Amino acid sequence: MPTAIVTGGAIRIGRAMALHLAGKGFDIALLYHSSSTASEETIQSIRSNGVQCRGYSEDLRKLDEAFIEKIFQDFDNVELLINSAANFIQENIEQTQLKTLVDTLNLNLMFPYLLMREYKRKVNKGLIINILDERVEKTIPTFAAYSVSKVALKHLTELAAVEWGQTIRVNGIAPGLILSPQGGPPDYLERAAKKVPARTHGNIENLLQALDYLMENQFVNGETLFVDGGSFLR
Ligand SMILES: NC(=O)c1ccc[n+]([C@@H]2O[C@H](COP(=O)([O-])OP(=O)(O)OC[C@H]3O[C@@H](n4cnc5c(N)ncnc54)[C@H](OP(=O)(O)O)[C@@H]3O)[C@@H](O)[C@H]2O)c1
């Protein structure tokens, strides 16, 4: 069975992608951090598809290279990597604390960088998908460190697509208004949808369709697929 590595896989978008891949027959290396109860439920749900799943509880901000190597030792047929784990901290540039800046760049950019590098060294085939954000095409300073990290991750996606294109395809999915931020008000999606050109919000199924497309189309490399109802253009 092929294996997919999914970061941020215990909850929400990462969980949905991991379960979707399990349904297609992938064994799953599931990375999570604080969602230990949710991870147990997710791992059981993944295994109920008849595939193997191993959970790794790790603070990815630590950039532990030995941890990264271990994942590739545990699974010998990795064919897909999804970098979904990220933080989302509301501080503009002036407000940004050093901890926010370091944590955000470590988690959202540097860990995916190191994991992709190891994927190239150990796997050298298949597909890498980085989960970006519609904000990569916008200039909204409210989540400054987050936006910088996602723009840089998009550029890394493109660099890797060029450097590795002969053996690995590297693409991005840039979600727009899909889920409320954790702890957001109940009417968050409906209110925010008024600013989306499509005048509606998306859902996780829209992201899974993007994932399927990128998995199936073997000639798409270095692409960022915006799943945002056209918001990135505004
Ligand atoms: N939700 C949206 O509508 C939306 C829109 C645009 C872009 N995105 C992007 O889509 C991706 C998933 O979004 P989401 O809303 O599902 O994310 P989320 O609910 O905010 O979850 C964040 C994920 O990152 C993991 N994480 C956070 N800090 C970590 C750390 N220090 N070490 C390891 N893992 C850590 C969390 O793991 P634990 O829970 O185990 O701690 C969790 O799985 C993100 O890259 C996000 O930027 C989402």
189 in contact with ligand 1, CB cutoff 6 A: no
pLDDT recorded at residue 108? 99
Percent of the chain predicted with pLDDT > 90: 98
Cα distance between residue 227 and residue 210, in whole Å: 8
pLDDT recorded at residue 38? 98
pLDDT digits (tens, 9 = 90+) for 103-140: 999 999 999 999 999 999 999 999 999 999 999 999 99
What is the count of structural domains for the chain? 1
- Say how many Å lie between the CA of residue 82 and the centre of ligand 1: 12
* CATH code of 192's domain: 3.40.50.720
pLDDT digits (tens, 9 = 90+) for 58-115: 999 999 999 999 999 999 999 999 999 999 999 999 999 999 999 999 999 999 999 9
Q: Is 63 left (phi over 0), alpha (psi -120 to 50) or beta?
A: left
Average pLDDT, the chain: 98
Q: For the CA atoms of 201, 205, 210, 213, what is the dihedral angle to 10 degrees?
A: -150
Question: pTM for this one?
Answer: 0.99
- Say how many Å lie between the CA of residue 34 and the centre of ligand 1: 11
Residue nearest to atom 1 of ligand 1 (CA): 179
Segment 2-24 shows an average pLDDT of: 98
Range of the domain at 73: 3-233
Pocket test for ligand 1, best of 15, 31, 32 (most atoms within 8 A of CB): 32
Segment 210-229 shows an average pLDDT of: 98
3-state secondary structure at position 164:
helix
Pairing of strands 53-57, 224-227: unpaired
Segment 172-186 shows an average pLDDT of: 96
Q: 209 CB contacts (<8 Å, ≥6 apart)? A: none
* pLDDT band of 43, cuts 50, 70, 90: very high
C-alpha 52, offset from chain centre: 21
